[in-house]
Amino acid sequence: MKQKNFTIRLYNTLTKRKEPLHPRTEKVLHMYVCGLTPYDSMHIGHARTFTIFDAFRRFLEHLGWTVIHVQNWTDIDDKIIQRANEKGCSSSELAEDYIAEAMTDWQNLGLCPPHIMPRVTDHIPEIIQSIGELINGGYAYQADGDVYFSVARYQNEFGDYGDLSGQNLEEIQAGARVEPGEHKRNPIDFALWKRAKEGEPFWDSPWGRGRPGWHIECSVMSLKYLGHPIDLHGAAVELTFPHHENEKAQSQALVRVQPVVRHWMHCGVLNVAGDKMSKSLGNIIPLSEALKKSGPNDLRLLFLSTHYRSPLNYTDDLMAGARASVRRLSEALTQVLQVPSQPTKEEDTTSSKKSISLFQLGHQSTDLFYQALADDFNTAEALGYVFRMVGGILTTLALEREGLSPRQKEALLFLFGKIKSCLTVLGFDVDQMVTPPVIQDEMAQDLMTLLIELRQKLRAEKLFSLADWIRSSLGEKGIILEDGPEGTRWRRK
RNA sequence: GGCGCCGUAACCGAGAGGCACAGGUGCGGGAUUGCAAAUCCCGAUACCCGGGUUCGAAUCCCGGCGGCGCCUCCA
């Protein structure tokens, strides 16, 4: 698979079209993804966004690309300061705590760590230097300890402000506001440097004590680690304006390359039962909370079963559906693992034909799988092809109860390999799907085994009411027993 | 109000001129099962509305209606 040469087409927010992904060096993608502002726990909306970029990265890597993945921590900002004040700790303590927590969540979700995760507070000198350059270039001005970016001045020279978010200057102008205490020449100008108020954390700068504005950190850090033009810049759509529009203007003013980002990839937001997650609605679902009920595979399936640009409306039913889908995958894969030890029957014309069509199913579905991903990363369609292979396996196994021919066995194992490979490309943990559940506590594990054996003995004695009582009692504890031909297995509900 | 996205079965969700075989979840019937579960088979239900273009429209165009996002807090 590594030698496959696909043209990868991806919707570009800047041009509003699907375009071939053209990195500046062939098969090397410089990818910057806007990361978290660590002022609170990571929630499932973040998880969706990061899962999408994680899967996209794995897809490219699987095709033999090198992806240089940079994702920042915006570890100083107004929300962090406010939160730290509420909690009575310092901004950096607060940020570090949430960064540590997010890294754990990140791992639990099964995400590849980005190669570089720069913190804003580690880049203050670079940021100050860049702001200085913008002032020298005439793109920025000081006002009472603040430094603002002059959109009008930028627009004069580059003429593309508003292109990314699809707005013209008048429209932006109409909506622009000036906060009390700001000294902008023009309401659409935005802060590069904010003067520190009483009690706020600060860094010394040529313009006095303060901290970076919201957008400059991404310009500075993306350029520092990725150079330019940056091949792909990603985040959720809601960052398109103002964040990315402003970031793009600053970066272009800094390096005078247009476009400084070749491809903007934005994914849709996640809503909860129709509403945007917000503190006032109290409907924020922390990732750690979601991971208590569902495994990383379940969440990943949920996120990838909708096209990345569509909004995703999270509900418990939908989550349960995703969990059931993963169970179907596990079921099929687990069953194939038992194929080698199943009785073999003689090869004949029929079994040979059947195995050929299974091989075809595998080849064709895998092909379509990659094509779907190459066409604007359509994971929803791609997963459909995986499930076609799953159907092929389960149907064959159900139909050939009395035995499989050698070639049929081969074909099933071939499908297993294809499914595993496809799922791995998207970042699923296939090993976890085929691993029976374990109990960490050894004693508890022994008791469980004992209970199952006891129940088997009761069933052998036809003491079904007792056996059923054990099963339903365990059911109340969230443990489901399944009696199959190979014995009884258990799983968590 | 401006800009953008969207409307496909009970639900989720692909498809973008050529028969609605996507796929998943759920539901009904059957097989299997001591009974369940799991699995298999069969089944039901869908292209928001109205015009237009076309031999042919879910798909393209126009107009409605409805929903969502952004419009300086946002992943």
CA of A412 to C1' of B28 (A): 31
Percent of chain A with pLDDT over 90: 69
CA of A389 to C1' of B42 (A): 21
Q: Which residues of A318-354 are buried (b: 16+ CB within 10 A; e: fewer)?
A: ebeebbebbeebbbbbebbeebeebeeeeeeeebeeb
Which of the four pLDDT bands, split at 50, 70 and 90, describes residue A404? very high
Q: Which residue is nearest to nucleotide B4 (CA to C1')?
A: A166
CA of A482 to C1' of B35 (A): 12
- Residue A177 confidence (pLDDT): 67
C-alpha angle A196-A198-A199 in degrees, rounded to nearest 5:
95
- For residues A207-234, average pLDDT: 94
- For residues A214-228, average pLDDT: 94
Q: Are A170 and A177 in contact (CB under 8 A)?
A: no
Pick out the nucleotide with least CA–C1' distance to A184. Answer: B72
Distance, CA of A377 to CA of A307 (rounded, Å): 8
Query: Does the pLDDT at position A458 exceed 90?
Result: yes
Q: Which residue is nearest to nucleotide B15 (CA to C1')?
A: A381
Which of the four pLDDT bands, split at 50, 70 and 90, describes residue A149? very high
- For residues A56-77, average pLDDT: 95
Computed over every residue of chain A, the mean pLDDT equals 91
- Residue A165 confidence (pLDDT): 86
Name the residue with higher pLDDT: A374 or A16: A374
Q: So where are chain A's domains? A: 9-267, 296-434, 442-492
Question: What are the tens digits of pLDDT across the range A7-55?
Answer: 898 888 888 888 889 899 999 999 999 999 999 999 999 999 999 999 9
Pick out the nucleotide with least CA–C1' distance to A168. Answer: B3
Query: Does the pLDDT at position A106 exceed 60?
Result: yes
Which of the four pLDDT bands, split at 50, 70 and 90, describes residue A175? low
CA of A280 to C1' of B67 (A): 22
Question: Does the A296-434 domain belong in CATH 1.25.40?
Answer: no
Question: Does the A9-267 domain belong in CATH 3.40.50.620?
Answer: yes
Spacing of C-alpha A36 from chain mean position: 13
In single-letter form, the type of residue at position A210 comes to G
| Nucleotides on chain B within 7 angstroms of protein Cβ | 1-6, 11-15, 22-26, 33-41, 68-75
- Residue A1 confidence (pLDDT): 41
- Residue A186 confidence (pLDDT): 87
Q: Which of A48, A163, A175 is nearest to A111 (CA)?
A: A48
- Residue A337 confidence (pLDDT): 92
Which tokens in the block code for residue A416?
């297993």
- For residues A243-255, average pLDDT: 94
In this prediction the ipTM stands at 0.92
Dihedral sign (CA A180, A183, A185, A191): negative
Pick out the nucleotide with least CA–C1' distance to A379. Answer: B14
Distance, CA of A390 to CA of A489 (rounded, Å): 21
CA of A381 to C1' of B37 (A): 30
- For residues A447-461, average pLDDT: 92
In single-letter form, the type of residue at position A278 comes to S
Query: Does the pLDDT at position A264 exceed 50?
Result: yes
- For residues A226-245, average pLDDT: 92
CA of A483 to C1' of B32 (A): 12
Strand locations in A299-440 (E): 312-314
Q: Which residues of A200-224 are buried (b: 16+ CB within 10 A; e: fewer)?
A: bbebebebeebbbbbbbbbbbbbbe
Query: Does the pLDDT at position A436 exceed 60?
Result: yes
